[in-house]
Amino acid sequence: MAWDFVRENWKNGIEILILSIAIYQIYRAFRATRGARILVGLVVILVAVTLILFQFKFQVITWLVTRAAILLVFALPVIFQPELRNALAKLGSSRLFSFSNKSQLDFLEIFEDSVVALSKKRIGALFAIERDISMKPYEETGVTLSADFSPELAMTIFFPKTPLHDGGVVISNKKMSTAACVFPVSQKELSDRSIGLRHRAAIGVTEETDCVAVIVSEETGAISICMEGILERNLGEEKFRKRMAQIFLSNDDKNETSAPKELGPEDRVTASGDRDLVSD
Ligand SMILES: Nc1ncnc2c1ncn2[C@@H]1O[C@H](COP(=O)(O)OP(=O)(O)OP(=O)(O)O)[C@@H](O)[C@H]1O
């Protein structure tokens, strides 16, 4: 009996499973976005109205609601325009910036050291490391540098009251491409009201592109990483370096990554030590 039931309905079971996974994945992708709230609101109104109409059988209102539901289908791409744009851009792009060789690994190490030095000196900073999606629209808001990354330059740019310290630095292909860039400030309602504009700009730019933002808080010196609009705050030095390696060093680079990690601290190019530009 039970076997017959399974034989007759296994296809329905698989269908339900596929649909559940798809709906859950869509929910996961969109739950933190502004569009999700609008959609939930619309769906709740639609379900409530449908239930009322089903109960009372109002013909004219039923006709109107059915037409409105069709309009909703056309409205969805507009409501989810930022999310769709992001998803399509990710789909159509290829990986241009992966740390796959020694020079790139060196860059990562210098970058980490610079961020740690900025943190120790409590110099507020915001970096956006470009990956697959172009950051051109944000680069256009800033001042072109096209300079090799160096701890000295990072310090000079973000040193308070200098002309370029306001805004973010875009790092593209291991170079500091632009400084003083204005990033989109996230519209997401943040539970933590203490999160200021620098961190919100990091959330905003990583919501719009696939870049990795690294933030140093001027107030506390805390280092944070932001990806896909998710902020990982107050990472200590060790955790910051570990997360950067996890993000940028893919599995097939393991052999190359292990070598520099074995170097002692004296072998590293540090922003403090010899290269100290700004006194504590
Ligand atoms: N849209 C933006 N794009 C890039 N940088 C921005 C943007 N808005 C603000 N900033 C930067 O953030 C600085 C102000 O930071 P604010 O104190 O509001 O933020 P915060 O997240 O609390 O950071 P901190 O912990 O460093 O104080 C500005 O001086 C500017 O350099």
Which residues' Cβ are closer than 6 Å to ligand 1? 124, 126, 166-168, 182-183, 185, 195-199, 201, 217-219
CATH number belonging to the domain at 102-277, selected among 3.40.1700.10, 3.40.228.10, 3.40.50.2000, 3.50.50.100: 3.40.1700.10
The per-residue pLDDT for 202 is 95
Please tell me the distance between residue 165's alpha carbon and the centre of ligand 1 in angstroms: 10
> Contact 254/100 with Cβ under 8 angstroms?
no
Coil vs helix vs strand at 190 = coil
Identify the bridge partners of residue 227 per DSSP, sorted by sequence position.
212, 230
Q: Please write the tens of the pLDDT for every residue from 3-52.
A: 787 888 888 888 889 988 888 877 776 665 666 677 778 788 888 888 88
pTM given for the model: 0.63
The 230-235 sheet, strands edge to edge:
143-148, 175-181, 168-172, 125-129, 212-216, 223-227, 230-235
Instruction: Tell me which of 126, 198, 218 to substitute to probe ligand 1's pocket, judged by most ligand atoms within 8 Å of the beta carbon.
Output: 198
pLDDT tops 50 at residue 201: yes
In 217-269, beta strands by DSSP E: 223-227, 230-235
Spans of all domains in the chain: 2-87, 102-277
Tokens for 64, please give them. 């109107």
ipTM above 0.90, yes or no: yes
CA torsion sign for 208, 209, 210, 214 is negative
- C-alpha 169 – ligand 1 centre gap (Å): 12
- The closest-lying atom of ligand 1 relative to the alpha carbon of residue 126 is 5
- pLDDT at res. 262: 30
- Chain position carrying tokens 């970058």: 111
The answer to whether 195 touches 173, Cβ cutoff 8 Å, is: no
